């Protein structure tokens, strides 16, 4: 046995490295398909219409400006010209976690994306929901989303992205 180990020691040392090196040729494919592939195919739904995406249906209920107040009832202050937007998106999913890893943005009229829950709302009762019912009670639910738009921008669409659905994404048009 000792003679066999001595004779094959270099092969035995190289074996773990070979096992680790086998998937390396596929890393570029994984990166290009799942990581670097941009979202470029829009699945759009005009106002009042539904769209099927990622294991569920979704629609934009409303996207309106609103004036938030803090816990004491005082208006939240922001720089002049900025506008808070309250959007409501309806979901009907096949399973409770069908859209659990989604990302939601508001696209404005200038083509920029804005994330939910702006810093100005951190000390208020307003928190954006996600693409799943966190109580797990229903497969049909609505999500309240809060955004802050800069001067001169109007809400154009709610954008929903799921990594496993690349390169497709959803645009729920506001107008």
Question: Is residue 28 located within the same domain as residue 62?
Answer: no
Question: Is residue 48 located within the same domain as residue 21?
Answer: no
CA distances from 165 to 43, 53, 102, 162 (A): 11, 8, 10, 5
Question: Is residue 45 located within the same domain as residue 119?
Answer: yes
- With the C-alpha atoms ordered 148, 152, 158, 159, is the resulting torsion angle positive or negative? negative
- Supply angle C-alpha 115, 118, 122, rounded to 5: 140
Question: Is residue 127 located within the same domain as residue 55?
Answer: yes
34 pLDDT above the threshold of 70: no
Better pLDDT: 24 or 121: 121
Question: Is residue 75 located within the same domain as residue 153?
Answer: yes
Structural domain that includes position 67: 40-173
Better pLDDT: 88 or 136: 88
14 confidence band (pLDDT: 50, 70, 90): confident
Q: What is the mean pLDDT of residues 33-37?
A: 65
Question: Is residue 28 located within the same domain as residue 44?
Answer: no
Residues 133-160: tens digit of each pLDDT: 877 778 999 999 999 999 999 999 999 9
Question: Is residue 64 located within the same domain as residue 115?
Answer: yes
- The number of distinct structural domains making up the chain is 2
36 pLDDT above the threshold of 80: no
30 pLDDT above the threshold of 90: no
SS3 at position 147: strand
Question: Is residue 24 located within the same domain as residue 96?
Answer: no
Q: Which residues pair with 114 in a beta bridge?
A: 106
Q: Would you state the pLDDT for residue 151?
A: 93
Strand ordering across the sheet containing 140-149:
51-52, 56-65, 83-93, 140-149
The CATH number of residue 89's host domain is 2.60.40.1240
Q: Mean pLDDT, the chain, as a whole number? A: 88
φ, ψ of residue 107 to 5 degrees: the values are -95, 130
φ, ψ of residue 26 to 5 degrees: the values are -90, -10
Residues 18-28: tens digit of each pLDDT: 777 777 667 76
35 confidence band (pLDDT: 50, 70, 90): low
81 confidence band (pLDDT: 50, 70, 90): very high
Q: Determine which helix (DSSP H) or strand (DSSP E) holds 97, and give its type and residue range.
A: none
Q: What is the mean pLDDT of residues 34-46?
A: 81
Question: Is residue 76 located within the same domain as residue 103?
Answer: yes
- With the C-alpha atoms ordered 53, 140, 102, 122, is the resulting torsion angle positive or negative? positive
């Amino acid at each position: 046995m000792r003679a066999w180990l001595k004779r094959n020691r270099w092969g035995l040392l190289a074996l773990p490295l070979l096992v680790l090196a086998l998937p390396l040729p596929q890393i570029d494919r994984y990166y290009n398909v799942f990581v670097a592939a941009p979202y470029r195919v829009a699945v759009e739904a005009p106002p009042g219409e539904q769209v099927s995406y990622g294991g569920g249906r979704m629609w934009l209920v409303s996207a309106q400006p609103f004036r938030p107040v803090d816990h004491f009832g005082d208006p939240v202050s922001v720089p002049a010209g900025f506008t808070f937007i309250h959007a409501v998106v309806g979901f009907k999913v096949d399973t409770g976690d069908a859209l659990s890893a989604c990302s939601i943005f508001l696209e404005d009229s200038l083509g920029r994306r804005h994330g939910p829950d702006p810093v100005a709302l951190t000390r208020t009762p307003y928190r954006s929901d996600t693409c799943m019912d966190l109580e797990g009670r229903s497969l049909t639910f609505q999500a309240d989303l809060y955004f802050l738009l800069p001067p001169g921008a109007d809400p154009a669409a709610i954008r929903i992205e799921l990594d496993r659905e690349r390169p497709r994404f959803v645009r729920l048009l506001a107008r």
